[in-house]
Amino acid sequence: MKLIVYLSLLPLILCSISNIRKNNYLSNDNGHDISNTSNRGKVSIIGAGFYGTQTAFRLAQYDIFHTIVLTDIIDGRSEGIALDLNHCSSLEGFNTNIIGITTENDKGYEKTADSDIIIITAGIPRKPGMSRSDLININTKIITNVVTNIIKYSPNAIIIVVSNPLDEMTALTQIVSKFPHNRVIGQAGVLDSSRMSYFVSKKLNVPVSKVVSLTLGSHGETMVPIISKCKVNGLPLRDLLNEMDIEEICNRTRDGGTEIVSLLKTGSAYFCPASAACKMAKAIMLDTKEILPCHTWVSGQYGLEGLYIGVEAEISRQGATVIESSLSSLELKHLKSSAEIIKSKQKSLLDILSLNNT
């Protein structure tokens, strides 16, 4: 009798096991349901160097995009990297499809069509003996070509710019694309703030998760650390460190990229920069409305007008919305000084564009 009961229940048991297996299969280690791709987006990454490759890998691990397109001008490079990354999908638990595309002049960009987000990493790094103006001239031509092509196929995308020099390339991307300013964002503050948090945690020997840091302004020499917003376990940084130690941390943060370049001898940082760009892309795709420091267009906030500069912004599916917070009088002074330098850089960019168009 018991055997008959057990046999009658067997189909129900097997069905339950099947559903459990199905549910486990359709959710990855990040807790995202991967069974329905209709609400997941598409992101294109322009440039398959170390930065672009690491960005593609991290975004795939998030498993919030149905497609990642990775492009490069070197024949076969992006295709090979994409295949290698796709081989990781079973191990890493993501269902995102990564496509590699070789681009040449205006060819190949059609594969980026209908991207929700485009991350531009293209451009060359500054080389020994190269002047800053040389770098701007070369990367201006590269970014102009890239932007001209991507907007043909993704007119509604949000663009994240990481190419250097960032102040000029972010402004250039908006000028060429003619996108609303909120849909062109430069990545810098997330990176610099993360570096600062690390240096603070090491100085005080505390977990980095207990540190909150904020940097505004430019990316580099005119970066403005906002010490009044820096806290450790909820305590103001100035209650824990003297001014000399704080200045040391600020200087090391400001020169963080240069320090890495000097250690590597060839190449530059890409792990933390990629993580920063991915954090921004995730906030956009999931519409988190997270407040992050990034290069955003200001129109009156902090008394600044008509330029891209590092400020806090709410990041969502609409792009970036500037959030103006209170700063000390000295911090505001430094931010305005940074803005003057950035504005002169962006004016020089307009001069270069005028020359290129004559």
Q: Residue 337: which residues within 8 A CB-CB, separation 6 or more? A: 222
Q: Which stretch of DSSP H or E encloses residue 190?
A: helix 189-204
How many CB atoms are located within 10 Å of the residue 218 CB? 26
**What three-state secondary structure class fits 337?**
helix
Check if the beta carbon of residue 190 is closer than 8 Å to that of residue 294.
yes
Question: Could you say which DSSP state residue 166 is in?
Answer: H
Choose among 113, 62, 281, 71: nearest CA to 190.
Answer: 281
Overall residue count recorded for the chain in this entry? 358
Is 219 labeled as catalytic in the residue annotation? yes
**What three-state secondary structure class fits 165?**
coil
Check if the beta carbon of residue 9 is closer than 8 Å to that of residue 34.
no
Cα–Cα distance between 307 and 75 in angstroms, integer?
37
Q: Which stretch of DSSP H or E encloses residue 39?
A: none
Check if the beta carbon of residue 89 is closer than 8 Å to that of residue 96.
yes
Check if the beta carbon of residue 297 is closer than 8 Å to that of residue 307.
yes
Cα–Cα distance between 126 and 128 in angstroms, integer?
7
Q: Bin 75: left if φ > 0, else alpha if -120 < ψ < 50, else beta.
A: beta
- From 66, 219, 295, 334, the catalytic residue: 219
Q: ∠ CA 344-347-352 to the nearest 5 degrees?
A: 125
Instruction: Look up residue 350 and give its amino acid.
Output: L
**Catalytic positions, written as ranges:** 219
